[in-house]
Amino acid sequence: MSAQTREIIFDTETTGLDPKTGDRMVEIGCIEMIGRVETGRTFHAYFNPDRDMPPEAERVHGLSAAFLYTKPRFADTAMELLAFLGDSPLVAHNAGFDFGFLNNELELAGHQPIDYDRMVDTVALARKKHPGAKLSLDALCTRYGIDRSHRVKHGALLDAELLAQVYVELTGGRQIGLGLTALDPATDLAAQPSTNAPWHRPATDKPRRDPRPHVASPEELERHRTFIAGIAEAIWTR
Catalytic residue annotation: 154
Residue type, 140: L
CB under 8 Å to 194, separation ≥6 — which residues? none
Residue 177 to residue 39: CA distance in whole angstroms: 11
13: exposed, middle or buried (Cβ count in 10 Å: 0-12, 13-18, 19+) = buried
Residue 14 to residue 28: CA distance in whole angstroms: 9
- Decide if 14 contacts 23 (C-beta within 8 A): yes
DSSP 8-state symbol, 141? H
